[in-house]
């Protein structure tokens, strides 16, 4: 059966100044704007920040996902945006998240240590499927917390 929902996964390099206050303020802005736009666009997903990189899953109708990705690629707060996957899906992995954010709190750092040996903590060395599963696991933990 043809699916009309797509999942897009990419990673990028963080260009936001590394001091905590500036970074937190920028992420707050990105999330506030994303949640507004994504609700309008029927997009759900999650954004991961780790080791100077972002990784993001966007899921929704192909046209709005592609339009969001176009805007995201032009954003100067990050760069080297690399598309890892764009596939039709039967079910959303993040049905309740207009855009969830997973930063580097301790529990997550430990989780990253588990996959660290294979990825070197670097999203650029993970596949789209691995990023999707990782974000999904972390999102479930976050919802349960």
Ligand X SMILES: Cc1cc2nc3c(=O)[nH]c(=O)nc-3n(C[C@H](O)[C@H](O)[C@H](O)COP(=O)(O)O)c2cc1C
Closest approach of ligand X to the CB of residue 84, in Å: 14
Choice from 46, 72, 131, 138 touching ligand X (CB under 6 A): 72
- Rule CB under 6 A: is residue 71 a binding residue for ligand X? yes
> By C-beta, is 34 or 119 nearer to ligand X?
34
Size of the site for ligand X (CB under 6 A): 16
Closest approach of ligand X to the CB of residue 60, in Å: 10
Choice from 38, 44, 93, 132 touching ligand X (CB under 6 A): 38
DSSP calls for the chain: ----EEEEEEEEEE-S-SSHHHHHHHHHHHHHHHHHHHHHTT-EEEEEEETTEEEEEEEEEHHHHHHHHHHHHT-TTEEEEEEEEEEEESS-S-TT-SSEEE---HHHHHHHHHHHHHHTT-GGGS-HHHHHHHHHHHHHHHHH-
The interface region with ligand X, picked from 66-74, 84-92, 105-113, 124-132 by CB under 6 A, is: 66-74
Cβ atoms of residues 23 and 103 within 8 Å: no
- Rule CB under 6 A: is residue 77 a binding residue for ligand X? yes
- Rule CB under 6 A: is residue 34 a binding residue for ligand X? yes
> By C-beta, is 29 or 113 nearer to ligand X?
29
The interface region with ligand X, picked from 34-42, 88-96, 101-109, 125-133 by CB under 6 A, is: 34-42
Cβ atoms of residues 108 and 114 within 8 Å: no
């Amino acid at each position: 059966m043809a699916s009309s929902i797509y999942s897009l996964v990419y990673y990028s390099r963080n260009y936001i100044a590394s001091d905590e206050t500036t970074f937190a303020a920028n992420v707050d802005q990105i999330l506030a704007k994303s949640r507004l736009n994504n609700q309008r666009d029927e997009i759900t997903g999650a954004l991961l920040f780790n080791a100077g990189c972002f990784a993001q899953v966007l899921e929704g109708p192909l046209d709005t996902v592609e339009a969001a990705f176009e805007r995201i690629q032009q954003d100067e707060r990050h760069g080297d945006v690399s598309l890892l996957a764009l596939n039709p899906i039967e079910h959303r992995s993040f049905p309740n998240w207009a855009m969830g954010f997973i930063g580097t709190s301790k529990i997550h750092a430990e989780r990253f240590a588990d996959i660290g040996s294979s990825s070197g903590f670097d999203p650029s060395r993970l596949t789209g499927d691995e990023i999707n599963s990782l974000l999904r696991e972390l999102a479930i933990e976050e919802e349960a917390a």
